[in-house]
Structure 1
Amino acid sequence: MINGKTVNKQPIDVAIKDKQIIAIDKNLSKINAMKTIDLESKYFISPGWIDDHTHCYEKLTLYFDDPDEDGYKTGVTTVIDAGSTGANNIGDFYNITRSKITNVLAMINVSKTGILDQDELGNLKTIDSNLLYKIFDKYKDFIVGIKVRESHSVVIDNNVKPLIAGKKIQKELGNPPLMVHIGANPPELQDVLSLMEEKDILTHAYNGKINGILDKEGNVQNFVWQAYQRGVIFDVGHGTDSFNFNTAKVAKEVGLNPKSISTDIYNRNRIQGPVYDMATTLEKMIYLGYSLSEVIKMVTEAPANNFNLRSKGHLQVGYDGDLTIFSVSNGEKVLTDSNGNQKKATTLINPQLVVIGGQIYKIGGN
């Protein structure tokens, strides 16, 4: 890859061999490559985008998709499925993903059923810690964390008991990443956050729900600040129902910024919106005032750090040969949040190519 530019608009060439980055410089003209792609100084090169909250197990009926539709076809080189599957079915999910172009990883749902039904944690008997430990070890190169969904439609009358169980499992497994979904109450957000520790990930953090980060006066609640300051990771997790322009705007104004940007994408909100793809989600964050370098870091370095993906997320020699090549242009596009509020974007992000393990794929086809 020659004549690209970084998000800081510096010239960059990248050489890849045997699925790894072997050289990076402003000019690699001395390298004799088998294939060279000249970006003609038109396009940005970043580490491959990572979406750390997707739902892409194709056999479900509620939240499902093809990982490649959420992944390389939209400029994302790695997707992490956020708990669609549990100990009963994550092995099948693993087998399916081996034929995909996109890198696919998964969080295991604390419920052994995964999201077969909306209320997978309405019955605490679905939490089988011994089975989870066994499956976690069997698929340790695929499972990168644990997922607990803590909203009323999921836990019914169990409040934060599933999260308490999830935290115990996390400790027993040596503290892998733990992502917690929030939504309608009960459980109360304050009770959920009180159980979360440094490096735990709160997804759907910027939703517009009553049980959200803002109080009735529209200010960030004190207990939210306390969690943020002790190192709980705030993740966007846009989704069908979980991103609100005003909430995200207020949070940015006071410095409660997300560490990572994810889409919570699946078949319906990819096709019908309001998510569509990662680029659209990044456009929303840029509309709110985040810089290009900030949002790209939130979909590369940050999720790689969140989930201990030690060979991804950076343009560095020795890292995986995963790249996203994209353009940034001026234009107009209507952006819609999860509550139907619309804004007009003027900065548009257009993925052009991805490189996954050194293989090049054009957006829209091979």
Structure 2
Amino acid sequence: MYDLIIKNAILIDDSITDIAIYQGKIVKIDSVISDPTIRILDLKQKYYVSAGWIDSHTHCFARSPIYHDEPDLIGVKAGVTSVVDAGSVGALDVDAFYQLAQQAQTHVYSFLNISKIGLIRQNELADMQDIDVALFDKTLAKYPHFIIGIKVRMSRSVVGENGILPLIKAKEMQRKTGLPLMIHVGNNPPELDEIADLLTKGDIITHCFNGKPNQIFDKQNNLRDSIKRAIERGVILDIGHGGESFSFAVAERAKCLDIYPNTISSDIYSKNRLQGPVFSLANVMTKFICLGYSRKRILDSVTQNAAQVLRLKNKGKLTVGYDADLTVFDIKQQAIELADSDGEVRQSHEQFVPLASIVADTTKHSLYIEITEEGSKNALRISN
């Protein structure tokens, strides 16, 4: 007995398979799975399926005054089954965010800002008094399955005169919890070298390929020694594209040196979703086709790598026993122009196009299926 059978799905290695789902779990993967009484999603050997896409850097607290969006608009309606809000909220407004997140069909998680005020203003770490450790610890204990990490933004406009002090404080707070720490890097001060040397295994540098002066390459276009050491220690590189934080030139230089991001994320919110240059996680993924990344490397960066970095159990793999979070997509063979955050435009000969999101609720043993607008155009539908 199954709840859904996906038939004739193409995997990223171009093999064809059927997938059976029961009570929110993948229970069978085989060349042929038949049951005429069960709901069928037939991909007709035309469309791909993967583990559900995970966007590990978004801003989706709808009530945030600066960076805000709706989880389902950047999630299930865009082929993304899990989104992580990266620091929009602090301890003072996480209750409101949690309540809104529970109403979404997309899985929503939070990296809690170390500043209790979150992003109600751009310089949330200019006043060290806004780091309330006791309140932070209490909040983490209240939402152990919702708050999966810690966020600290380390750029001049955020920290003011405090320099490296917020990161030192964040590392102290992290050591008590063991949660992943995501560090936003941007304009100096503080200097990237100073930031990188404080980071340890599992810490996440987001905006890793930004084109700002404080980037991972020095003025001679060599990888900074501090970044080389950080990578060797197991520090994670995350894209975090955003409106100002992704450069084709930096990403291309990194690839020449065999430096790849662990995770590809969007840093999406309403403005850069509607006006670009982000638009969607799929659009960001397509930019890495321009750079010569393999399809598998790109998909791994939004599935198994993301699940591992974020410590999301039973997600990120198309494997029996894992949660039935799946993304159905096409890889269209058509030219598209893509812009980075610096305005450089490149062309891709193909693009990722999400067609459907399948999201498991393992607590209720239920399944939510969202056919995207493009999926509807392609006559994708559930039979029975």
Q: TM-score, normalising length from structure 1? A: 0.98
Instruction: Determine the C-alpha separation between the residues in 1 that align with 2:265 and 2:245.
Output: 11
RMSD: 1.1
2:286 paired with 1:277: no
Match of 2:22 in 1: 17
- Using the TM superposition, give the Cα deviation of residue 24 of structure 1 relative to its aligned residue in structure 2, in angstroms: 1.2
The structure 2 residue matched to 1:242, chosen from 242, 245, 254, is 245
Match of 2:355 in 1: 352
The structure 1 residue matched to 2:314, chosen from 303, 306, 311, is 311
- Using the TM superposition, give the Cα deviation of residue 148 of structure 1 relative to its aligned residue in structure 2, in angstroms: 0.4
Work out whether residues 193 and 224 of structure 2, in 8 Å CA contact, stay in contact via their aligned partners in 1. no
Match of 1:6 in 2: 11
Match of 1:113 in 2: 117
Match of 1:340 in 2: 343
- Using the TM superposition, give the Cα deviation of residue 32 of structure 1 relative to its aligned residue in structure 2, in angstroms: 5.6
**AA in 2 matched with 1:104:** V
Match of 2:364 in 1: none
Instruction: Determine the C-alpha separation between the residues in 2 that align with 1:317 and 1:137.
Output: 32
1:139/1:329 CA distance change after superposition, 3 Å: same
Structure 1: gaps of 5 or more residues: none
Work out whether residues 219 and 250 of structure 1, in 8 Å CA contact, stay in contact via their aligned partners in 2. no
Match of 1:296 in 2: 299
Greater alpha carbon shift after TM alignment, 332-341 vs 313-322: 313-322
Match of 1:40 in 2: 44
Residues 1-366 of structure 1 correspond to what in structure 2 (within 5 A)?
Answer: 1-29=6-34, 31=35, 34-173=38-177, 175-357=178-360, 358-364=367-373
Work out whether residues 59 and 69 of structure 2, in 8 Å CA contact, stay in contact via their aligned partners in 1. yes
Instruction: Determine the C-alpha separation between the residues in 2 that align with 1:314 and 1:33.
Output: 27
Match of 2:363 in 1: none
Deviations 1:237-291 (A, max 9, x none): 0000000000000001101100000000001000000000011101101110111
Instruction: Determine the C-alpha separation between the residues in 1 that align with 2:50 and 2:17.
Output: 10
Structure 2: gaps of 5 or more residues: 1-5, 361-366
**AA in 2 matched with 1:55:** H
Greater alpha carbon shift after TM alignment, 305-314 vs 17-26: 17-26
SS in 1 for 2:219: coil
Instruction: Determine the C-alpha separation between the residues in 2 that align with 1:185 and 1:144.
Output: 28
Instruction: Determine the C-alpha separation between the residues in 2 that align with 1:260 and 1:32.
Output: 39
SS in 2 for 1:155: helix
- Using the TM superposition, give the Cα deviation of residue 26 of structure 1 relative to its aligned residue in structure 2, in angstroms: 2.1
Instruction: Determine the C-alpha separation between the residues in 1 that align with 2:94 and 2:108.
Output: 12
- Using the TM superposition, give the Cα deviation of residue 345 of structure 1 relative to its aligned residue in structure 2, in angstroms: 1.1
**AA in 2 matched with 1:147:** K
**AA in 2 matched with 1:299:** V
Q: TM-score, normalising length from structure 2? A: 0.93
- Using the TM superposition, give the Cα deviation of residue 33 of structure 1 relative to its aligned residue in structure 2, in angstroms: 5.3
- The count of aligned residue pairs is 364
Identity between Structure 1 and Structure 2 (%): 41
Instruction: Determine the C-alpha separation between the residues in 1 that align with 2:96 and 2:131.
Output: 19
Instruction: Determine the C-alpha separation between the residues in 1 that align with 2:278 and 2:322.
Output: 30
Instruction: Determine the C-alpha separation between the residues in 1 that align with 2:93 and 2:300.
Output: 33
- Using the TM superposition, give the Cα deviation of residue 362 of structure 1 relative to its aligned residue in structure 2, in angstroms: 0.5
Instruction: Determine the C-alpha separation between the residues in 1 that align with 2:115 and 2:37.
Output: 49
Instruction: Determine the C-alpha separation between the residues in 1 that align with 2:281 and 2:187.
Output: 25
Runs of 4+ aligned residues of structure 1 deviating over 3 Å after TM superposition are: none
